[in-house]
Amino acid sequence: MDFEDIETVAVLGAGNMGHGIAEVAALAGYEVRMRDIKEEFVQNGYDNIEWSLNKLAEKDRLTQAEADDALDRVTPLVDVAEAVGDADVIIEAVPEKMEIKKDVYTDVEQHAPEEAIFATNTSSLSITELSEVTERPEQFCGMHFFNPPVRMQLVEVITGAHTSDETLDTVEQLAEEFGKSPVRVRKDSPGFIVNRILVPLMNEACWLVHDDVATIAEVDSTTKFDIGLPMGALELSDQVGNDVGLHVLEYMHETLGEAYDPCPLLEAKVEDEKLGKKTGEGFYDYE
């Protein structure tokens, strides 16, 4: 698939990342099919896009007409065949579980055009292993956005063992067309570049609170004002989703070793469904 031939982008998953990626693609002028497994999930994603576009217009980052046009380009869908049937690029952003993602690809493969590129927004999982459940591993790569996608500049474009250079070039060009700055990750390795650094940092922040070395406020003011992150480490964990961070850590723990042992405080937040901003409570209260 040549970059110039891309007209339609399908995004699978309308959650935190999926709806944000659909919004970015629509803002870049593409027809977007956003799919999730239930009507209420797609509607929620669509409402979030509308909220975000209106917020961007309110802040003069774009005009209200541009916001309205972008929303018009997003079609919310539940039917997989309809979502991917005429897609040139399919960006998958379903939950961070290997088995769920593999099932999605097995299903999508039956309905997607032969030349369509598959790009996964996985935060850590093996691109090679995912690509091998499809019949097009050379047309498969990672395309990892950051939360919130509409505001974050970086996109990691990750090669799998079978990914062709043509696929990587096309996806990089697409990321640039989305207004992003892609970085090519040369080797398929758990957590890629950013999460290999950031997720252990958020986990260490949890350990400091867990071990009673510092309070949440002390950890966050240190990481924000002294280390210079745009958000405190625990505020960032709430932004990313404590469940997402935990899934990445569990995978890194399993594949890279003991250093990535998840903190019980993080595990407890997830168990109590205090997932961060998206559930209204995490390390902070958002109600």
Contact residues toward ligand CAA (CB under 6 A) are 52, 55-56, 123, 146-148, 150-152, 195, 198, 230-231, 236, 239-240, 244
Q: Which of 126, 195, 237, 242 is catalytic?
A: 195
CB of 25: closest distance to ligand CAA in angstroms? 14
Q: Which two tokens stand for residue 90?
A: 């399919």
Is 147 a residue of the active site?
A: no
Is 195 a residue of the active site?
A: yes
Contact yes or no for 266/234 (Cβ under 8 A): no
Is 221 a residue of the active site?
A: no
What's the one-letter identity of residue 171?
A: V
Q: Which of 23, 92, 96, 156 is catalytic?
A: 156
If the CB atoms of residues 14 and 56 are measured against ligand CAA, the closer one turns out to be 56
- Say how far apart CA 248 and CA 216 lie, in whole Å: 22
CB of 20: closest distance to ligand CAA in angstroms? 6
Q: Which two tokens stand for residue 148?
A: 């919130």
If the CB atoms of residues 21 and 90 are measured against ligand CAA, the closer one turns out to be 21
CB of 115: closest distance to ligand CAA in angstroms? 28
- Say how far apart CA 148 and CA 152 lie, in whole Å: 6
CB of 2: closest distance to ligand CAA in angstroms? 29
- Say how far apart CA 61 and CA 102 lie, in whole Å: 37
If the CB atoms of residues 105 and 192 are measured against ligand CAA, the closer one turns out to be 192
Is 210 a residue of the active site?
A: no
Q: Exposed, middle or buried by CB within 10 Å (0-12, 13-18, 19+), for 250?
A: middle
- CA-wise closest residue to 32 among 66, 59, 57, 8: 8
Catalytic residues: 123, 144, 156, 195
